Chain A
Amino acid sequence: MSEPTALRVSLRTAFILTVFTVVFTTLMATTYRATKPAIDASTEAEKMKLVDEVLPAHLYDNAPLTDTILVAPRSELGLEDRDDPVRLLRARKAGVAAALVFEAVAPDGYGGKIRLMLAVGADNRVIGVRVVSHKETPGLGDYIDPRKDRNKAAPWIRQFDNQGFEQVPLTHWKVKKDGGHFDARAGATISARAVTHSVRRALQFAVDNRDRLYALPAQSSFGKEAKP
């Protein structure tokens, strides 16, 4: 047998590499298709679970995940740097407005943005707030997330429950250290301040636009930048 030429070796190697690439790409594509339904289902279930955390199920009888409107990114919700509109869920009981559920971002957390989900009742009071994601210091600022809060009986974030601007005036809607109403743990005020201010802005948005937000037909858009 003669010595294989450089060309033959290159072609053979390229062929083998191609075969490996095709085989493994096929494997990955198959896995992707097999897992997609389960992944989509758990993403949706996760969203509903978050809604359940901020809004008790007995307060509404519609399907908030389908009764949504699209809110154009706006600074009250801390979303000014997003391009796509965000979903705002509307809960109703026997056709009467019950609550608005939507996302807000506190841009000024210690570790960057803190994403919140909150429910505001038709009586203009906060029903519940939860942290969706954050990068606050573990063991220090992460008590804003009730799962990490050591005080399980009365987690920090529950202070906002049932509060509105009638209960806590707008000017007092800040942490105690700044002369406001809400507690913050010593040594980790920045996280609490960011969340408190973000909740205040989001509540203001919900109160100011309450009637229009409930009245808009489902799937329609809110906000001037929104596309028709």
Chain B
Amino acid sequence: MNFREIAHNGIWKQNTGLVQLLGLCPILAVSTTFVNGVSLALATILVMALASGMVASVRSFIPREVRIPVFILIIASLVTMVDLAMNAWLHELYRVLGIFIPLIVVNCIVLARVEAFAAKNTPLVAAWDGAMMGVGMVVAIAVLGGLREIIGTGMLFSGIEMVIPGAQALQLLPERYPGFLVAILPPGAFLVLGFMIAGRNWLDARAARRVPPVQPVVQAHA
């Protein structure tokens, strides 16, 4: 598998949020706004790349029988370190994401990729795979968070000033837009995610129709 294939796999074919549906807990909980969601996903990229790279580089030392405890140990340590580092150096952001960062530990996508990919590949390839899985999550959560925020409040990028000082949220819908509360509440997360999965499947189906697989053509002539 080359790097491009891995990227395509992580962002589209095996997108964590839309196809594998792994780690829905953080995706649904944090996607109330674009900024919250993307920030958590960026932290997840970091953790996944580090965890995959690290597991891949020590994979020959890990006995098969205890590989899962070791993976969990590595992931939990990395999350703790990212948590402390963010608290120390990105404190404003940490105040928003603080309670979600420990959730990365229970995000099964990290463990799933480490077990399915990193444990069988070289460190560089594994780190790339982890990062691309994270990028896939960023894309999914950005769209999900953005849609929920626009539908729910009529604004986009609220809270951006915590990440980029001085930046302003955009008022996309008219000032008088009353807000559609359910989009921000937990049911809205499931609804919007459902529509996104449907949309992605529709795009895939359309692409498949445009480029008909070789097999059926041959059969038609036979």
Report which A residues bind B (CB closer than 8 A).
Answer: 12-13, 16-17, 20-21, 24-25, 27-28, 31-32, 34-36, 38-39, 42, 46, 137-140
Given contacts A31-B80, A31-B84, A35-B85, contact A139 B66 (CB under 8 A): no
State whether A39 and B73 are in contact (beta carbons under 8 Å apart), knowing that A28-B80, A138-B32, A139-B181 are contacts in the complex: no
Please provide the chain B residues from 73 to 89 with a CB less than 8 Å away from any CB of chain A in the complex. 73-74, 77, 80-81, 84-85, 87-89
- The smallest beta-carbon distance between A191 and chain B, in angstroms, is 14
Question: Nearest residue in A to B175 (C-beta to C-beta)?
Answer: A150
B173 within 8 Å of A (CB atoms): no
Residues of B143-160 at the interface with A, using a CB-CB cut-off of 8 Å, are 152-153
Cβ–Cβ contact A13 & B65, under 8 A: yes
Alpha-carbon distance between A46 and B92 when the two chains are bound, in angstroms: 9
Nearest Cβ distance between residue A136 and chain B, in whole angstroms?
12
Whether A39 contacts B152 by the Cβ 8 Å rule is no
- Nearest to A133 among chain B residues (CB) is B95
Which 5 pairs across A and B sit closest by C-beta, in order of nearness? A38-B88, A35-B88, A24-B77, A42-B91, A35-B84
Q: Is the CB of A13 within 8 A of B80?
A: no
Beyond A21-B73, A24-B77, A139-B184, whether A16 also contacts B91 by CB under 8 A is: no
B62 at interface (Cβ–Cβ under 8 A)?
A: yes
Interface footprint category on B: 20 to 34
Determine how close the nearest CB of chain B comes to the CB of A210; give it in whole angstroms.
33
Say which residue of B66, B70, B81 sits within 8 Å of A28 (CB atoms): B81
Across the interface, A27 reaches (CB within 8 A) one of B61, B77, B95, B152, namely B77
Contact A17 B66 (CB under 8 A): yes
In the complex, besides A16-B70, A38-B89, 13 extra interface pairs with C-beta distance below 8 angstroms are A13-B66, A17-B66, A24-B74, A27-B77, A27-B81, A31-B84, A36-B88, A39-B87, A39-B88, A46-B95, A138-B185, A139-B179, A139-B184
Contact B69 A17 (CB under 8 A): yes
Verify A32–B84 contact, CB threshold 8 A.
Answer: yes
In the complex, 29 of the A-B residue pairs with CB atoms within 8 angstroms, ordered by the A residue number, are: A13-B66, A16-B61, A16-B66, A17-B66, A17-B70, A20-B62, A20-B74, A21-B73, A24-B73, A25-B77, A27-B77, A31-B81, A31-B85, A32-B84, A35-B84, A35-B85, A35-B87, A35-B89, A36-B88, A38-B89, A39-B84, A39-B91, A42-B91, A46-B91, A46-B95, A138-B185, A139-B152, A139-B179, A139-B184
Measured CA separation A13–B84 after assembly (Å): 30
Q: Is B153 within 8 A of A20, CB to CB?
A: no
Q: How far is the CA of A138 from the CA of B36 in the complex (A)?
A: 14
Task: State whether the Cβ of B166 lies closer than 8 Å to any Cβ in chain A.
Answer: no
A27 to chain B, nearest CB (A): 6
Contact partner of A12 (CB less than 8 A), chosen from B63, B87, B181, is B63
Which A residues lie within 8 Å of B95 (CB)? 46
Q: Nearest-CB distance from A44 to chain B (Å)? A: 11
- Give CA–CA (A185, B63) in the complex, Å: 61
Chain B residues in 8 Å Cβ range of A139 = 152-153, 179, 181, 184
Hey, which chain B residues are within 8 Å of A12, CB to CB? 63
Return the chain B residue nearest A148 by Cβ.
B158
Contacts of A31 in B (CB 8 A): 80-81, 84-85
Query: In the complex, what residues of A have CB within 8 A of residue B88's CB?
Result: 34-36, 38-39, 42
Cβ-neighbour of B63 out of A16, A39, A137, A138 (below 8 A): A16
Asked if A28 contacts B181 (CB within 8 A), the reply is: no
A137 to B95, CA, bound (A): 18
Chain B residue with Cβ nearest A36: B88
Contact with A along B177-196 (1 / 0, CB 8 A): 00101001100000000000
